[in-house]
């Protein structure tokens, strides 16, 4: 039912949830809703930290909560996650503490040293260069296949990345080698300031799977239950050696591209207003409340808990000692070249920096 057809609308489940009451895993959906609320609270705080000079340039995930939470819940501990820069919720659900995510965006690379003993220790660090992580994912998937691992590789990117050669090369090798890989595109309609219709003449991003001979799925990226169903299917298929899948999650970027951007210069306020009517957090909350799986008291308690957790993460982040400046040289060479030793000595004499 997922296979892309030329005029297919994104796969959606939200409107049919009431009729699926007896079959749906409501506890999983409630957990997902709570994770979405937490990451939205975190996201808002991160933007505020950047605006007050306590965080570096930050890529918001506002509007992508369903996509990134569904990924975190669908992945198993034995899988590999190869992220791009809006996957904060997935990373957190894989075991990365919130303060460590802030650490990375504060310019401290120790934020990418994920905790041992968590699923995240198998994952790749954040990738800001566009689409380069997709070829890395194909390499990891090749290794998983050659070693007969029962594991899937989930790689993510934005719609802008689908114009890069790395995207097509990864898709092609995933198809021809039948790799255990799921490539998920967050199609939020904007590649910084370039709208989707100027990105590609293809009928959809999912249609590009046809050229690679793999399955392509379009799914409503604001529909958490649909996202879970599609990712459960695609990742299980990969784990069982049934090949790769391209997932196009159709969403809308409710934020600026990053905190260095001002989207009001290139998009209509009316388009943004319309997108807010379909935003994923309120959508899922309404369904849960209407069907008796959530209520106002639980909402109030969870909002307070999220605020406490985020405030604690911020304090932990701000109290971290600065990363030694010598780290920029110490992990590049087995033995530091003589030509750089003078620079290292000068760096070691510095007292350290500050957050952001």
Residue 200 in this model has a pLDDT that exceeds 70: yes
pLDDT band at 64 (very low <50, low <70, confident <90, very high): very high
Q: Give the contacts of 342 (CB within 8 A, at least 6 positions apart).
A: none
Angle at 345 between CA 340 and CA 346, to 5 degrees: 100
Domains assigned to the chain: 26-256+266-349 (3.40.50.970)
Which secondary-structure segment (H or E) carries 187? strand 181-187
CA distance 304 to 32: 17
pLDDT digits (tens, 9 = 90+) for 98-153: 999 999 999 998 999 999 999 999 999 988 899 999 999 999 999 999 999 999 99
Let me know: does 62 contact 256? Beta carbons within 8 Å. no
Q: Give the contacts of 275 (CB within 8 A, at least 6 positions apart).
A: 63, 252, 254
Kindly calculate the radius of gyration of the chain based on its CA atoms and give it in whole angstroms. 21
Which is catalytic among the residues 88, 257, 283, 355?
257
- Per DSSP, the residues of 71-83 read HHHH--TTSEEE-
Residue 336 in this model has a pLDDT that exceeds 70: yes
Decide: residue 3, CB within 10 A, 0-12 exposed, 13-18 middle, 19+ buried: exposed
Over residues 272-294, the mean pLDDT reads 95
Up-side HSE of residue 139: CA atoms within 13 Å toward CB?
8
Of the candidates 167, 195, 194, 193, the residue with the CA atom closest to the CA atom of residue 181: 167
Q: Give the contacts of 324 (CB within 8 A, at least 6 positions apart).
A: 330, 347, 348, 352
pLDDT digits (tens, 9 = 90+) for 315-325: 999 999 988 88
Of the candidates 176, 169, 187, the residue with the CA atom closest to the CA atom of residue 244: 176
Which is catalytic among the residues 51, 266, 274, 354?
266
Instruction: Note the pLDDT of residue 197.
Output: 87
What's the mean pLDDT when you consider all of the chain?
A: 93
Which is catalytic among the residues 40, 218, 253, 283?
253
CA distance 313 to 140: 32
Percent of the chain surpassing pLDDT 90: 84
Residue 2 in this model has a pLDDT that exceeds 80: no
Let me know: does 188 contact 253? Beta carbons within 8 Å. yes
Percent of the chain surpassing pLDDT 70: 95
pLDDT digits (tens, 9 = 90+) for 272-281: 999 999 999 9
Of the candidates 30, 102, 110, the residue with the CA atom closest to the CA atom of residue 69: 30
Higher confidence at residue 4 or residue 196?
196
Q: How are beta strands 153-158 and 80-82 bridged, if at all?
A: parallel
Examine the residue annotation and report whether 136 is marked as an active-site residue of this protein.
no
Instruction: Note the pLDDT of residue 3.
Output: 52
Let me know: does 101 contact 85? Beta carbons within 8 Å. no
Instruction: Note the pLDDT of residue 19.
Output: 78
Lowest-pLDDT range of 118-122, 179-183, 195-199 = 195-199
CA distance 4 to 107: 40
Instruction: Note the pLDDT of residue 6.
Output: 47
Residue 181 in this model has a pLDDT that exceeds 80: yes
Over residues 60-78, the mean pLDDT reads 98
- Paired residues of 179 in beta bridges: none
Residue 171 in this model has a pLDDT that exceeds 50: yes
Examine the residue annotation and report whether 257 is marked as an active-site residue of this protein.
yes
For residue 242 the two structure tokens come to 């049934």
Residue with tokens 């609308």: 9
């Amino acid at each position: 039912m997922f296979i892309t057809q030329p005029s297919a609308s994104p796969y959606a489940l939200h409107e049919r949830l009431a009729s699926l009451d007896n079959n749906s895993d409501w506890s999983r959906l409630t957990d997902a809703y709570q994770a979405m609320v937490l990451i939205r609270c975190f996201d808002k705080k991160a933007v505020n930290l950047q605006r007050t000079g306590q965080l570096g340039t930050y890529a918001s995930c506002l509007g992508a909560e369903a996509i990134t939470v569904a990924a975190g819940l669908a992945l198993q501990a034995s899988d590999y996650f190869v992220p791009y820069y809006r996957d904060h919720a997935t990373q957190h659900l894989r075991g990365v503490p919130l303060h460590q995510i802030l650490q990375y965006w504060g310019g401290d690379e120790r934020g990418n040293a994920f905790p041992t003993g968590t699923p995240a220790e198998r994952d790749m660090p954040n990738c800001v260069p566009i689409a380069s992580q997709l070829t890395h994912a194909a390499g990891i998937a090749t290794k998983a296949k050659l070693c007969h691992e029962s594991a899937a590789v989930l790689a993510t990117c934005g719609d802008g990345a689908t114009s890069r050669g790395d995207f097509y090369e990864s898709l092609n090798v995933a198809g021809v080698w039948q790799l255990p890989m799921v490539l998920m595109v967050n199609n939020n309609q904007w590649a910084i300031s370039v709208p989707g219709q100027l990105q590609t003449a293809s009928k959809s991003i999912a249609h590009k799977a046809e050229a690679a001979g793999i399955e392509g799925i379009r799914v409503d990226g604001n529909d958490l239950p649909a996202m879970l169903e599609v990712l459960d299917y695609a990742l299980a298929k990969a784990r069982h050696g049934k090949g790769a899948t391209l997932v196009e999650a159709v969403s809308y970027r409710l934020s600026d591209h990053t905190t260095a951007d001002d989207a009001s210069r290139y998009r209509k306020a009316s388009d943004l207003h319309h997108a807010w009517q379909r935003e994923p957090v309120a959508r899922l909350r309404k369904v849960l409340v209407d069907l008796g799986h959530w209520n106002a008291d639980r909402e109030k308690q969870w909002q307070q808990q999220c605020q406490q957790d985020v405030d604690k993460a911020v304090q932990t982040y701000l109290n971290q000692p600065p990363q030694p400046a010598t780290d920029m040289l110490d992990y590049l060479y087995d033995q530091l070249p003589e030509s750089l030793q003078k620079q290292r000595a000068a760096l070691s004499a510095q007292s350290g920096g500050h957050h952001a």
